[in-house]
Amino acid sequence: MRIRRFSPGYAILTLAFVILTVSLGFWQLDRAEQKTALIEMYRDRGKTTVPLESVIGDWENNRYRRVEAQGSFLTDKQIFLENQVHRGQVGYHAYVPFRTGNGDTVLVNTGWQKALRDKTDIANGQVRIEGLLRPPPEVGIRLGNLDQTTFERPYRTPYMDIDWIGKRLDLQPVPFVLLLAGNGEGAVGDDWSPVRMPPETHRGYAFTWFSLAFALLVMFLIYGFKKE
């Protein structure tokens, strides 16, 4: 006659993995809620346009707001962010400093381009622009040293460091950037999203983790007792 004996080691191992997978599931649900709130804030703040000078002093609480500014582009100080993917192709995001009427300088993302060359379609003189206010692009793993980049035009950078760019271009830019909006195909601020992974994807991952936890429990009930 076979007697089933409880396996403490298998039970502890199963419990540890169930706790881990359930925790990851709830973490994904929390990320989904955060992304949903961020998208709602982004959509709400994009409904109206406000003057840049009205939010520049409190920009962190006004991120993703649509702003307008009057001034001129400094076309001789363009700088290009490397390794930017657009529709499956690798290229550059062109940042052109914009000097407002109040004397503030902000880096404006004027769009993606495949070739490394200065933009020639930038308006000269006094112009009015609209843009989406956002923090500088986030940096994952920093590869290379900024000081190893060349000092010849067209200027380029592997990642956005506002202070370093300011020193390199002899400027004092504000600590955020604008995504140019309302300017046709190059208007990066019109189709940009504050999230790369939508909330639905996080919920899908959460379902996967919860399913795995359930499967582990079922396996424990089937194989968690030794036969003698």
Expressed as residue numbers, the domain containing 212 is 4-38+199-227
Highest mean pLDDT among 112-121, 183-192, 204-213, 214-223: 204-213
Does residue 161 sit within a domain?
Answer: yes
Per-residue pLDDT at 105 = 94
Does residue 57 sit within a domain?
Answer: no
Task: Decide if pLDDT at 195 tops 80.
Answer: no
CB atoms under 10 Å from CB of 39, counted, come to 16
Does residue 219 sit within a domain?
Answer: yes
- pTM for the model: 0.72
Residue 16, token pair as written in the block? 């540890």
Reported as a single tens digit per residue, the pLDDT across 171-194 is 999 999 998 886 544 455 556 666
Instruction: Indicate if 80 and 180 belong to the same structural domain.
Output: yes
Q: How many domains does the chain have?
A: 2
Does residue 154 sit within a domain?
Answer: yes
Instruction: Indicate if 153 and 94 belong to the same structural domain.
Output: yes
Does residue 59 sit within a domain?
Answer: no
Classify residue 79 by burial, with Cβ atoms within 10 Å: 0-12, 13-18, 19+: buried
Mean pLDDT of 37-63: 84
Residues 177 and 73: their CA atoms lie apart, in Å, by: 14
Reported as a single tens digit per residue, the pLDDT across 125-171 is 899 998 889 888 876 555 556 666 666 788 888 888 898 888 888 89
Does residue 55 sit within a domain?
Answer: no
Residues 205 and 35: their CA atoms lie apart, in Å, by: 14
CB atoms under 10 Å from CB of 162, counted, come to 18
Instruction: Indicate if 17 and 98 belong to the same structural domain.
Output: no
Say which residues have a Cβ less than 8 Å from residue 202's Cβ, sequence separation at least 6. Answer: 28, 29, 31, 32, 35
> What value, to the nearest 5°, has the Cα angle with vertex 167 and ends 90 and 157?
10
Does residue 85 sit within a domain?
Answer: yes
Mean pLDDT of 18-35: 92
Instruction: Indicate if 17 and 109 belong to the same structural domain.
Output: no
Instruction: Indicate if 87 and 118 belong to the same structural domain.
Output: yes
Does residue 88 sit within a domain?
Answer: yes
CB-CB contact of 95 with 83 (8 Å):
no
What amino acid is encoded at 172 in this protein?
Q
Q: Show the DSSP H helices in the chain as ranges.
A: 8-45, 162-169, 199-223
